[in-house]
Amino acid sequence: MHSYTLHAPAKINLFLEILGDRPDGFHELVMVLQSIALGDKITVRANGTDDIRLSCGDSPLANDATNLAYRAAQLMINNFPQAHDNYGGVDITLTKHIPMAAGLAGGSADAAAVLVGLDLLWNLGLTRPELEQLAAQLGSDIPFCIGGGTAIATGRGEILDPLPDGNCFWVVLAKHRSIEVSTPWAYQTYRQKFGKNYLNDDQSQRARRKTIHAGPLLQGIQHRNPGQIASHIHNDLEKVVLPAHQPVAQLRQVLQSAGGLGTMMSGSGPSVFTLCREQAEAEQVLAIAKEKLNDPDVDFWLTHTIGHGIQIMNN
């Protein structure tokens, strides 16, 4: 097979708690991550040269090593030089649907798709843990993006444990087109305002920490109880992003008052989501929020949670 086309789903954070500042500059987290159907399309194709050639369609993304998708291909070449010799370079075509710098792991999902795509294209037969280990070298959210679904993440976000399929929500998603939030900025600002040292890296405490911090949400997921899940969603980064971006705080408030089970910012923002039980309820929330806000700068999406990460669309 000379090409694979993959679907790379975005994620939302049902939970993001910052436990403290790590000596390596990252933050120790407890996160619950959830894949949603909104996703990018990535094609990887053997190009008969030695090179990586990345095309991002009409998106403003760079097509060089500043793009995570490009770096993912470089990482595969560095780790599997023999496969690169055998199969040659790769054309990567990226069709963006996930908004950028939105807290939805769009760049991470694309990088995860390139790792999976090259594993397929080069017949490497890598296991999920092997792919996740490579992914962790590129970014904290990329291991999750490979398998997707519902998972709890600890460490800097790269240590994953799958959770029972929480695939039960319709999601109204909204983002200001003109507002982008840099993830490093959000974490650094949090560190300045609320930072506390985190030195405890005792692995045996990790399991306990998950239940201490995300317990009620985890119970909701365990029992597939949408109301309990939605009433325990949480995101510490709201404390820095919302005061810095008043329109996002207003959007969050409008969405929350439009109905649904619960509203939260995703990741480092600025996208905001509302969880709903049914499609009809989500459509109503969307209509009410659009009318109340009446802001042409805000894009809305109606999507739903899904139980998987990168998937082959066709080949």
Is 99 annotated to bind a ligand? Reply is yes
Distance, in Å, from the CA atom of 7 to the CA atom of 308, rounded to the nearest integer, reads: 10
140 or 266, CB closer to ligand C5P?
140
* Minimum distance of ligand C5P from residue 6's CB (angstroms): 20
Residue among 311, 312, 309, 313 nearest 108 (CA): 309
Sequence-ordered list of residues with C-beta below 8 angstroms from that of 64, at least 6 positions apart, any chain = 54, 70
Cis peptide before 60 (omega within 30 of 0): no
* Minimum distance of ligand C5P from residue 139's CB (angstroms): 3
34 or 108, CB closer to ligand C5P?
108
* Minimum distance of ligand C5P from residue 92's CB (angstroms): 19
Is 174 annotated to bind a ligand? Reply is no
172 or 181, CB closer to ligand C5P?
181
Is 166 annotated to bind a ligand? Reply is no
106 or 166, CB closer to ligand C5P?
106
Binding stretches for ligand C5P (CB under 6 A): 26-27, 29, 139-141, 156-157, 183-184, 187
Catalytic-role residue among 11, 96, 175, 210? 11
Q: Is-catalytic flag, 196?
A: no
Pairing status of strand 3-21 against strand 234-235? parallel
Catalytic-role residue among 40, 141, 175, 210? 141
SS3 312: strand
Residue among 249, 257, 26, 21 nearest 141 (CA): 26
Sequence-ordered list of residues with C-beta below 8 angstroms from that of 200, at least 6 positions apart, any chain = none
Is 20 annotated to bind a ligand? Reply is no
Q: Is-catalytic flag, 41?
A: no
CB contact at 8 A, 32 and 217: yes
Is 104 annotated to bind a ligand? Reply is yes
In the annotated binding site, the residues are 99-109
- The residues annotated as belonging to the active site are 11, 141
In the annotated binding site for ATP, the residues are 99-109
